[in-house]
Chains A and B, each alone.
Chain A
Amino acid sequence: MTEPVEGTGKHGNPLNSLAIGDDCLVLSHRLAEWITWAPTLEEEVALANLSLDLLGQARALLSRHGDEDELAYLRDPGEFRNCLLVEQPNGDFAHTVVRHLLYTAFLFELYGGHPEDEVAAKGVKEIAYHRDYARVWTLRLGLGTEESHRRMTAALADLWPYTGELFEDDPGLRAPWDAFVGGTLREASLAVPETGQRTGGRRGEHTEHLAALLAEMQSLHREHPGARW
């Protein structure tokens, strides 16, 4: 792996393209797991679009560090630098919506601070749509029925512990993120839960979910060493 030279963003930190590439790769995979299981046919199309956007960003970012397929298929869990939030399982649609809101609100701020980076500059438009998609659904599920509100509350409690990690590299992103996420949750009558925090993804210390995800994703590629596809 070569270390690419990267520009410096508004907040003084370079874009950590390996970590963000892994975030996009893993979150794209999670969204792809929805295919054929979405709540409506319209959502099948929508979720596939989100997954494809992130896969495109992952490929562009990972290619800076070597061959995209070697990086995706031949690294072990401990070598992945994605945050813990994106590897959390899909759960119900509420968990997927909450995870997407929490993560894309972060990625939107991160990309926005790196206009000098080609992927970030192009990706910020796509991610603006993702963040809006998550917001639209957060409002509907937060305010819809008692059941949907209950499921959203449970999803927030499950996923909030993984939010602190997002700001380890760049604490300056926290304030605008809080404003957007906090505002959306308030509008959706959802409370910010009080939970402890877990980190480690950026150092390669993952929850057990990543190993299971990679075992499936890498299975065929690893069965045929050196093959072309």
Chain B
Amino acid sequence: MVTTFEELIARDERIEPRDEMPEGYRKTLIRQIAQHAHSEIIGMQPEGSWITRAPSLKRKAILLAKVQDEAGHGLYLYGAAETLGVSREELLDALHEGRQRYSSIFNYPTPTWADVGAIGWLVDGAAIVNQVPLCRCSYGPYARAMVRICKEESFHQRQGFELLYTLAHGTPEQRRMAQEAVDRWYWPSLMMFGPPDAESTHSARSMAWKIKRHSNDELRQRFVDMIVPQAEVLGLTLPDPDLRWNPERGHYDYGPIDWEEFKRVLAGDGPCNAERMAHRRKAHEDGAWVREAAEAYASKAAGKGGRAAA
């Protein structure tokens, strides 16, 4: 007998592309992987704008390599989504037409160089906490993409931390820049884990399908516990007056999150939603003639008996 989807899930085995799977499982994965891929691509913008202004050649090389990795991660993820029977063109169209989302965190601006550091430390830090459990996700191609991504991302968080550490121990102006950036990114990074468990619409089903392994609040707590001691090493404060160690819980307590702001940014009313989308659409449209030329060249070469002219 053919092993069923439910049996494979129960035995904690991976589902692979040509296996039978419930339509809901497939749709949930497409939505999640696509959103993840779009986030990598849109996420290049806030930091990418600093590559041409990086204050030293070493920092320039690091940032360039980092933003390049994000493009690469987007590609790994689009590839994983394509194994579910949807094409990259369809996914990019859905992004460009606003039918699919990307992480709201990238709708915040990066006014100073220190924001590059805060993104690396807090945003990539939160992403890693979210992503490590996805390496064991039940869908094989997604899990494998995440293994590769997590391996590559470990340098992203470190470069951010090191960048901030250098600023925090630099001139008074550099120090102020670092503190202000941390003040800007702390709350949005906590929101990256999604709404509280009680209000999370897709959580329960995703947990049952082993797409998701931990709840939003569990991961958020893990992140807070991780960054509080790191902030102390940086010598910077986190802008949360309620942050304190709770010996009974064995965790840090943190203050209430402004979910109204989260919903506003999610709904498209964040500081940079419109500009991020306009940038992405323009890049895609400006590149259309290049893609058409390469396509035309390939079909002409194929017409000559499949021999590429080069």
Interface set of A (CB-CB < 8 Å, partner B): 25, 29, 32-33, 35-45, 48-49, 51-52, 55-56, 58-59, 68-69, 72-73, 92-93, 135-136, 139-141, 143-145, 147-148, 151, 187, 216-217, 219-221, 224, 226-229
- Choose from B64, B113, B300 the contact partner of A32 (Cβ within 8 Å): B64
Q: Report B61 CB to chain A, min CB distance, Å.
A: 5
* In the complex, chain B residues 125-181 whose Cβ is within 8 Å of any chain A Cβ: 163, 166, 170-171, 173-174
Is chain B's interface secondary structure helix, strand, loop, or mixed overall? helix
CB-CB under 8 A for A144 and B67, given A36-B48, A58-B57, A59-B57: no
**Is the Cβ of A56 less than 8 Å from the Cβ of B61?**
yes
**Of B53, B283, B289, most A-chain CB atoms within 10 Å:** B289
Q: Is the beta-carbon distance between A42 and B75 smaller than 8 angstroms?
A: yes
A59 vs B60: C-alpha distance when bound (angstroms): 11
Given known A-B contacts A35-B48, A143-B300, A187-B309, A44 and B68 have beta carbons under 8 A apart: yes
CB-CB under 8 A from B49, the residues of chain A are: 36
Known: A41-B41, A41-B74. A48 touches B64 (CB 8 A): yes
- Report the separation of the CA atoms of residues A70 and B279 in the bound assembly, to the nearest whole angstrom: 33
Q: How far in angstroms is the closest Cβ of chain A from B298?
A: 8
Q: Would you call A141 and B290 a contact (CB within 8 A)?
A: yes
Residues of A with C-beta under 8 A to B163: 229
> Which B residue's beta carbon lies closest to that of A32?
B51
List the A side residues contacting B58 at CB < 8 Å. Answer: 229
Chain A residue numbers with a CB within 8 Å of B279 are 36
In the complex with contacts A36-B45, A51-B64, A148-B289 CB distance below 8 A = yes
Q: Report the Cα distance A73→B53, complex, angstroms.
A: 10
Find residues 272-310 in chain B having any chain A CB closer than 8 Å to their own CB: 279, 282-283, 286-297, 300, 309-310
Decide: A36 and B293 in contact? CB cutoff 8 A.
no
- Asked if B264 is at the interface (CB within 8 A of a chain A CB), the reply is no
Residues of B within 8 A of A (CB): 41, 44-45, 48-49, 51-61, 64-65, 67-68, 71-72, 74-75, 78, 113, 163, 166, 170-171, 173-174, 279, 282-283, 286-297, 300, 309-310
A52 to B66, CA, bound (A): 11
List residues of chain A with CB within 8 A of the CB of B294.
140, 144
Additional 10 contacts, C-beta under 8 A, given A32-B51, A45-B68 = A35-B44, A38-B287, A41-B41, A144-B296, A148-B293, A216-B53, A221-B56, A226-B171, A227-B55, A227-B174
| Cβ–Cβ contact A220 & B113, under 8 A | yes
Docked complex Cα distance between A38 and B61 (Å): 19
B68 touches A52 (CB 8 A): yes
- B59: A residues at CB distance < 8 A: 229
Which one of A40, A136, A144, A216 has the highest number of Cβ atoms from chain B below 10 Å of its Cβ? A144
Residue of B nearest to A36 (CB): B48
Q: Which of chain A's residues has its CB closest to B177's CB?
A: A224
Closest Cβ of chain A: how far from B79's Cβ, in Å?
Answer: 11
The distance in angstroms between the C-alpha atoms of A136 and B288, with both chains bound, is: 18
B174 to chain A, nearest CB (A): 6
Q: List 30 A-B contacts (CB under 8 A).
A: A29-B52, A35-B48, A36-B49, A37-B282, A39-B291, A40-B290, A41-B41, A42-B75, A45-B68, A45-B71, A45-B75, A48-B67, A55-B60, A59-B57, A69-B56, A93-B290, A135-B310, A136-B310, A139-B297, A139-B310, A140-B293, A140-B297, A143-B309, A147-B293, A217-B53, A220-B55, A220-B113, A221-B56, A227-B173, A228-B166
Q: Which residues of B contact A145 (CB under 8 A)?
A: 289, 292-293, 296
Separation of A35 and B48 alpha carbons in the complex (Å):
7
Q: Which 7 A-B pairs have the closest CB atoms?
A: A39-B287, A144-B293, A148-B293, A48-B68, A39-B290, A44-B71, A140-B297
In the complex, the chain A residue whose C-beta lies closest to that of B70 is: A44
For the complex, what is the distance from the CA of A44 to the CA of B58, rounded to whole Å? 20
Which residue of B has the minimal Cβ distance to A51? B64
**Separation of A165 and B252 alpha carbons in the complex (Å):** 64
Q: Which of B41, B52, B282 contacts A216 (CB 8 A)?
A: B52
